[in-house]
Structure 1
Amino acid sequence: MIATLGSSGLASAQNATARIDIDASRIENTIPATLYGSCMEDVNHEIYGGLYNQRIFGESFEEPAGSPDLVGFSRYDGYWTAKKGILHVDRCGGAKLVFDEAVISDGYIETEIKFDNAKGVNAGILVRVSEPATGGHSFNGYEISIGNNGKSCLLGKLRHNFEMLKEAKADFDPLKWNKLAVRTTGSRIEVMINGKTVIDYDDVVNPILSGNPGIRIWDSDTSYRNFFYEINGQKTAIPFEAVPSPMVSSMWDAIETGSAKASFAQDTKQAYNSKCSQIIQKKSGTGQVGIANRGLNKWGIGIKQGQKYTGDLYLKGAYNGMVKVALQSADGSKEYAVCDLTGITNKWRRFSFDLIADATDTNARFALYMEGNGKLWVDQVTLMGTGSDLFHGLPFRNDIGQAMVDQGLTFLRYGGSMVNVPDYKFKNMIGDRAKRPQYKGNWYPYSTNGFGIEEFLQFCEAAGFVPSFAVNVGETAQDMADMIEYLNGPVTSEWGKKRAEAGHPEPYNVKYIEIGNEEVIWGDIRKDYEKYIQDFNRIYDAIKSKDPNVEFISAAWWRPDSPENMKMVFDALDGKASYWDYHPWADDNHLGSHVEGELREMKDYFLKWNPATKMKCALFEENGLTHDMRRALGHVTIQNAARRMGDFMLTTCAANALEPYMQNDNGWNQGQIFFTPSLVWGMPPFYAKQMAAGHHKPFRVFTATEGDLDVTAATDERKNEVVVHVSNVHDRTIKTAINLKGFENPSKIKVIFLAGDKKEKNTPEQPERIVPQEKMLYHTNDLKYEFPANSYTILIYQK
């Protein structure tokens, strides 16, 4: 939206409470074009279920069969079993059960809880639950949990995002049965452990007043018994009764229609890829027997009318009939496309298929079924879009990839805790995708190598982003030498030839590689820093021997309060690592000054330890737990800090690049771009980055500020424009006098601003609730302007 400003947005001279002075003739430092970065890792299914166009989630059937259904409960994550009235759940991040048969406003809920071992976080009761979905924070309601340490109890409120209301000390034996009870009366919540009140809280701000009861654990092996609720003196027990479920890998559903009799099993001895394959057997009767997949966490596969989908799968078995693959509605009642597969033998064989949808459905499923009697083994199923569904013809969702381009990113980092597991190895990520082994990931235990480092580089190449990726510190020197030859070597080299055979003759020309991720974050342990130095040098020497042009990033955890250990790492890596990775917190809208202080301290240490050093900083993760306007302002203040640091900074990468809507299963609820199977939209931090990247200028100029604003300004070689970045992190409008000199004959000033309540965010229903707005005003020598509360504003002075 563009409008001409009359008096709106202008402040009178008498009421100005802040002042900005800008001298465009005084260049302070350069600002790198790579400043506008993002961090992408498969932390919340950003890749597998997100950017990676593979529509099947659980492609290799590695996920064990789902836990039995429990009478009266809906299950969201976790493996639950019930025997003789005792419910057990294996440790999982945010697994929950919701009891569907009671809605309680005022009442009393009690259960007994016992932790099965000393490892874990907490477990407890949920009250007043609504809108439950898969994902640790995906519901509205209250959580009441006791700590695995036997020392704590918490009360939290969730509206698809966790808010701590009260945490209290407690004293109980976590390895014995303990009674946890909750009484709700209006907005008041009372929590009791073993009959003693530990929390009595009145949630007077927007309380949740009604909903279902439930159970939730966080990363703890836990048992429950004696679960009941009481309303108006009437006590109702909730028994834990299991209903056996088919032995189908948990990301798939069994199909059994008509009078057909079937059996299902997971085979751990005859898999085509990795450890497991799925057995489907039709024994008798009339009807269909098979399996169906509904994508990430069964949230549905989005299909479009007329769109062609292509896929592969591997079959073998004792079956002479026809196997059908189809796109169907979620319940299988409608079939949008079907393809027949014949020629099954007792040996694994690859079958390819095409499916053209005859309808649009945002909640479809992929089905594989047989109608005759026989036995099938199935493994390694792939379903991809085609044409406009793909980003530059590559196996990535076009709508997500294009959104990242539209954000204005210039730099993309691929790394994070996903690289810190033993089986994260480059050579497992290349070659035929159907043969790449699955592995136990840090964030998801059944991670796929369908998208790896090479796919990341292909995506960046198509998108125009400068790429940087991290490697596992456990990689061998030989494998790292082979990796860089594969990525950067000539086609005449052994591994460069393999790259060409895989379809990419030209080298990727990788420039930035990070060795490890957040190494030694677990504690200030000198011997662990020494071990990291050894790992860094082994990988550094191997890669440098093949390509001397690669620049390296140190992933040693930065601890300014431990200068002796930091100096040891610096001395060992100075001249080898071009950058030291730094991960600040970004959830608070005031964090820019703190981050700038730490960056200046880092730079001072580097120069103190070696005045001639060339080591600088790569800010590869701005972390937090939110994606609202407050987080956007936190990012803006950090960007301003980075501009003031100049070329000491390689980039500032906000985490996380992507997040699937309502599928957050670990708490890192900080996506910039959100998506569903059929929608993509930006959150406030997305637009803050877009604004900054779209108005980059390479030279920071002098500014002086009086009052409560955070300001930087920049121009380019021709000085046709001066761009001023202003952050107002306060809950009030700030009236400001603005004085510009050193810029001849400014006329119009284009104003772009992002503003809103700190907790506001965009939703699928209102994807543009908070987006940049544009205005135009005319320059005067005594310009006054009112910067809105909680806002990021760009003023573009034009000649």
Structure 2
Amino acid sequence: MERLIGIACVVALVLTSSRAGAQDASIRVDVRQEGRPVSKYLTGACIEDVNHEIYGGLYSQMIFGESFQEPPVGSPAKGFAAFGGDWKLNDGEMLGGGGDGPKLVDSTVPPFADGEAGVEVYLSAADGAGGGVHNAGLIVRAGRSGVGADHFDGYEVSLDAGRKIVSLGRHQQNYALLKDTPYNVPVDKWVTLAVKMTGGVIEISVDGERVVRFEDPRPLAAGAVGLRQWHRSARYRNLWAKVGGKRTDLPFEAVPGAAPAVSGMWRPVVTGIATLAAAIERDRPFVGTQSQRLTLVGGAGEVGIENQGLNRQGLAFASGKPYEGYVWLRADKPAGAVACLESRDGTRTYARAKLAVVGNEWQRYDFALIPDASETAGRFSLRLTSPGSVVVGHAFLQPGPWGRFKGLPVRRDVVEGLIDQGVTVLRYGGSMVNAPEYRWKKMIGPRDRRQPYHGTWYPQSSNGWGIIDFLDVCEAAGFLAVPDFNIDESPQDMADFIEYVNGPPDSPWGKRRAADGHPAPYKLRHVQLGNEEKVDEAYFQKFERLTAAIWTKDPAVVPVVGDFQYERPITDPMKVTGADSGVTSLAAHKKILDLTRRSGREVWFDVHMWTDGSGRSPSYQAFRSYVDAIDKLADGAKHRVAVFEFNSNNHDQRRALANADAIGLMIRDGRVPVALAANCLQPDGQNDNGWNQGLLFLNPSAVWLQPPGYVTRMVARNYLPRVIDARVEGADEKLSVTVTRSEDGKRVVLQVVNLDAKPKPARIQFDGFTPSQPAAKVEELAGPLDARNTAASPDRIRPRQVEWPHRLAEGVASYTFPPHSFTVIRFE
């Protein structure tokens, strides 16, 4: 940690006001320029429930799987563990259902790195048709497995019959394609798939023919062998592994005995000699399609279920602090139950509350629990204390007001972390809004009665926290709010939404808002329609209908077009290449602008940008041409272009520099009202897919910033309202300079990104400005490109703040910008 932070310290020691050498870059700024306005909303974040930013992140609900919609965790075959999906054993064959990457992992062969594995795969021609990836096959060197598309480490060796591809990919709680090889994958017959691993060399064979050879320079560690499908079903037989020359067959055999059927995020609890019977109850479920039945059959002791939070990471309890919750139960006969806070293994009980269950209709049972000791990885349990049977429909647990932000159902430390980060605007949306069942009216009313749905990121998504909750947080924290909507919302429903949030309290939906606890209008000014859409004629027709409904209710609301990403500069708006959405012209954009002009309203366009680092992405290079193209088509229509997602697949220093560089571009351009980085949050160790890009990390008991989050804070804390041009000479493109000043010209801020691996000396000269203070305030974030913070070392890389005696009164100062750094210098 000291070494990383110390990089900036060393640089500070070599700062000098002497004349720079000929090799130095020159930064010269005439502060007398009027400049262009700078939006204060360029330090925002995009939040959605990807990788559990909401459930397990911001939302104060501590229980994950609260409505018991997840299928039971079980082993469909002896010696195997299933992680998601539908697995069925039939006469020695294993049928794996389609889905977002379900896995079946062997637990009998010890983890190995060098060796071989193989299986016979049967792919039906009737499945996996259509566009996109539809594959199935082996995973090897698998470890840290969990439910979720990319919730494991390991290599994926798969067959895609539709695309005629043999694919090799690497998962490290994310996904990276290593190699796609064309191959006419057979269908409707058994195919032998095998892989051989020696160090970093991976060889894949199909029906005995070697098809792929690849050498991974960063080979994964030892792990298990297993099976995985992506968006198609497959049959398997004759799975085997070979280690040290010894082959082990891994037959699919039935598991002896029947385990209690407990919903996937819960586990059975039994004490003493009591006997538990558990079943998934589909008769009269509380919400969704199922609830959980628990029966204490007999014997001394207690039986029940326990929950350890998001993906069973453990719950954190603070000693002496109140926790509040409730469960929805019904029972044929009166039954005794208890709600408990416990250690992970159940050997220590921290708090316990009795519940007397009566009646066969659903009833809510509230409880309060005050733990007598602190715990960082505990559990919540619900137990029966006497023979009987109950059905559990919903469970809720959260900290008391002490742990929530202004009484809202959100974690106080998380919101305070966002405020400290300098976040000025939040967008609630992203790919989650593209789920067909994502609708705002399903997110209001009692949160425990809101129906679950099949979400983009999680098949058992919950609506317990939604758009209105998001608006409440933004209002309480002072963030500008931009909610995103499914483009297929009906015009009437969008009109009702605008009336709900902005209508007077005596309007029909305004009355509903007041009844829900918010009498005053929210005064919402921006709504986004769709996410990463193909902005074509079909999109325009939907947009036209929705905006007519919106503007009828509130003409001041600005709709935002959910556009995507552009990889090539645009020279002719009617001839576009490199659009990720597939559009080949901006004809629909022009129709939207024409509609806006005729209506006398305003519209924004949201375009996304890749900020993976360490170089500038094609979407960065193309950005200004998109803004120019929209300006060219506007013909007087009031409009703006915003960036609602800087995207990456890392949260390292490389991404911090790319974000700083992109924000600098937005500031210098002067036309961008809002810029947001995705993702806002990331629960530590819970990454389910490639979007491993959180700015603020958290676990059940702590929050900490990653390097890109510090960039947000540095820019926000040094905001000045006017941007002025700097003349930079003698520097290559790896040095990015942005200069802002106060309205009165008495303060100047220099923001410099050094993308190079070498230090960059530069002379600094101001015209029309002499600082009154002899020392400037310097904040500098520097370190290796792969540097990031962890729960164990949350301050491993962070900005260093120093006072720099610049001596600009003598005319010229000199500063050396460290390698891979973002530096902010504030002169007054």
Decide which of 743, 747, 750 is 1:717's aligned counterpart: 743
Contact 1:294 1:364 in 2 (8 A): yes
The reply on whether 1:584 has 2:609 as its aligned counterpart is: yes
The reply on whether 1:251 has 2:265 as its aligned counterpart is: yes
Q: CA deviation at 1:397?
A: 1.0
The reply on whether 1:628 has 2:652 as its aligned counterpart is: yes
Contact 1:327 1:366 in 2 (8 A): yes
The answer for the alignment partner of 1:409 in structure 2 is 423
Q: CA deviation at 1:568?
A: 3.2
The answer for the alignment partner of 1:786 in structure 2 is 816
Decide which of 126, 132, 144 is 2:157's aligned counterpart: 144
Q: Which moves more between the two structures, 354-363 or 274-283?
A: 274-283
Q: Secondary structure at the match of 2:458?
A: coil
Q: Secondary structure at the match of 2:285?
A: coil
Correspondences of 1:170-181 after superposition (within 5 Å): 170-181=183-194
Structure 1 pair 130/453, CA: closer, same or farther in 2 (3 Å)? closer
Contact 2:175 2:689 in 1 (8 A): no
Q: CA deviation at 1:223?
A: 2.8
CA distance in structure 2 between the partners assigned to 1:170 and 1:768 by the alignment? 48
The reply on whether 1:379 has 2:393 as its aligned counterpart is: yes
CA distance in structure 2 between the partners assigned to 1:678 and 1:23 by the alignment? 49
CA distance in structure 1 between the partners assigned to 2:11 and 2:755 by the alignment? 23
Residue identity opposite 1:169 in structure 2 = P
The answer for the alignment partner of 2:30 in structure 1 is 23
Q: CA deviation at 1:399?
A: 1.6
Q: Secondary structure at the match of 1:342?
A: strand
The answer for the alignment partner of 1:185 in structure 2 is 198
Structure 1 pair 596/3, CA: closer, same or farther in 2 (3 Å)? closer
Contact 1:428 1:437 in 2 (8 A): yes
Contact 1:730 1:789 in 2 (8 A): yes
Correspondences of 1:558-573 after superposition (within 5 Å): 561=576, 562-573=585-596
Q: Which moves more between the two structures, 262-271 or 24-33?
A: 262-271
The answer for the alignment partner of 2:543 in structure 1 is 536
Decide which of 103, 113, 120 is 1:112's aligned counterpart: 120
Correspondences of 1:500-649 after superposition (within 5 Å): 500-520=514-534, 529-557=536-564, 561=576, 562-574=585-597, 575-591=600-616, 594-595=618-619, 597-646=621-670, 648-649=671-672
Contact 1:150 1:173 in 2 (8 A): no
Contact 1:135 1:663 in 2 (8 A): no
Decide which of 739, 753, 768 is 1:727's aligned counterpart: 753
Q: Which moves more between the two structures, 102-111 or 375-384?
A: 102-111
The answer for the alignment partner of 1:525 in structure 2 is none
CA distance in structure 1 between the partners assigned to 2:70 and 2:141 by the alignment? 31
Correspondences of 1:81-230 after superposition (within 5 Å): 81-101=88-108, 102-116=110-124, 117-119=127-129, 120-149=133-162, 151-203=164-216, 205-230=217-242
Aligned length: 788
CA distance in structure 2 between the partners assigned to 1:113 and 1:359 by the alignment? 52
CA distance in structure 2 between the partners assigned to 1:169 and 1:759 by the alignment? 33
Q: Which moves more between the two structures, 351-360 or 556-565?
A: 556-565
Contact 2:593 2:637 in 1 (8 A): no
Q: CA deviation at 1:597?
A: 4.8
CA distance in structure 2 between the partners assigned to 1:306 and 1:241 by the alignment? 49
Q: Secondary structure at the match of 2:297?
A: strand
Q: CA deviation at 1:453?
A: 1.2
Q: Secondary structure at the match of 1:419?
A: helix
Q: CA deviation at 1:406?
A: 1.1
Structure 1 pair 444/52, CA: closer, same or farther in 2 (3 Å)? same
Q: Secondary structure at the match of 1:93?
A: coil
The reply on whether 1:8 has 2:21 as its aligned counterpart is: no
Contact 1:133 1:662 in 2 (8 A): no
Deviations 1:224-272 (A, max 9, x none): 2211122232211122234343222212222234333332222223122
CA distance in structure 2 between the partners assigned to 1:753 and 1:30 by the alignment? 25
Decide which of 687, 693, 709 is 1:686's aligned counterpart: 709
Q: CA deviation at 1:140?
A: 4.1
Correspondences of 1:347-366 after superposition (within 5 Å): 347-366=361-380
The answer for the alignment partner of 2:582 in structure 1 is none
CA distance in structure 1 between the partners assigned to 2:755 and 2:306 by the alignment? 49
CA distance in structure 1 between the partners assigned to 2:106 and 2:554 by the alignment? 59
Deviations 1:316-355 (A, max 9, x none): 1123231111112223222111111114112211111111
Structure 1 pair 293/7, CA: closer, same or farther in 2 (3 Å)? closer
CA distance in structure 2 between the partners assigned to 1:294 and 1:20 by the alignment? 55
CA distance in structure 1 between the partners assigned to 2:285 and 2:143 by the alignment? 40
Correspondences of 1:273-352 after superposition (within 5 Å): 273-352=287-366
If the length of structure 2 is used for normalisation, what is the TM-score?
0.90
Contact 1:69 1:245 in 2 (8 A): no
CA distance in structure 1 between the partners assigned to 2:699 and 2:78 by the alignment? 30
Q: CA deviation at 1:302?
A: 1.6
Q: Secondary structure at the match of 2:667?
A: helix
Structure 1 pair 312/741, CA: closer, same or farther in 2 (3 Å)? same
The answer for the alignment partner of 2:413 in structure 1 is 399
CA distance in structure 1 between the partners assigned to 2:596 and 2:86 by the alignment? 45
Contact 1:124 1:215 in 2 (8 A): yes
Q: Which moves more between the two structures, 442-451 or 563-572?
A: 563-572
**% identical equivalent positions:** 37
Contact 2:75 2:81 in 1 (8 A): no
Residue identity opposite 2:498 in structure 1 = I
Residue identity opposite 2:212 in structure 1 = I
Gaps of 5+ in 2: 571-575, 577-584
Contact 1:110 1:181 in 2 (8 A): yes
Contact 2:695 2:707 in 1 (8 A): yes
Deviations 1:649-705 (A, max 9, x none): 121111111122222223222211122222222111111111111111110012022
Contact 1:326 1:338 in 2 (8 A): yes
Q: CA deviation at 1:410?
A: 0.6
The answer for the alignment partner of 2:762 in structure 1 is 736
Q: CA deviation at 1:590?
A: 2.9
Q: Secondary structure at the match of 2:540?
A: helix
The answer for the alignment partner of 2:681 in structure 1 is 658
Q: Secondary structure at the match of 1:14?
A: coil
Residue identity opposite 1:656 in structure 2 = N
CA distance in structure 2 between the partners assigned to 1:301 and 1:199 by the alignment? 44
CA distance in structure 2 between the partners assigned to 1:221 and 1:450 by the alignment? 32
Decide which of 775, 784, 789 is 1:748's aligned counterpart: 775
* RMSD, matched Cα: 2.5
Structure 1 pair 6/654, CA: closer, same or farther in 2 (3 Å)? closer
Q: CA deviation at 1:425?
A: 2.1
The answer for the alignment partner of 1:769 in structure 2 is 796
Decide which of 737, 741, 760 is 2:787's aligned counterpart: 760
Contact 1:5 1:775 in 2 (8 A): no
CA distance in structure 1 between the partners assigned to 2:14 and 2:416 by the alignment? 35
Residue identity opposite 2:114 in structure 1 = D
The answer for the alignment partner of 2:55 in structure 1 is 48
CA distance in structure 2 between the partners assigned to 1:479 and 1:599 by the alignment? 34
Contact 2:319 2:373 in 1 (8 A): yes
Deviations 1:84-127 (A, max 9, x none): 32223333334334433312232222222233521553333333
Deviations 1:406-447 (A, max 9, x none): 110111111112222333222222221122222222222222
CA distance in structure 2 between the partners assigned to 1:361 and 1:330 by the alignment? 9
Contact 2:337 2:383 in 1 (8 A): yes
Q: Secondary structure at the match of 1:33?
A: coil
Structure 1 pair 343/604, CA: closer, same or farther in 2 (3 Å)? closer
CA distance in structure 1 between the partners assigned to 2:498 and 2:179 by the alignment? 51
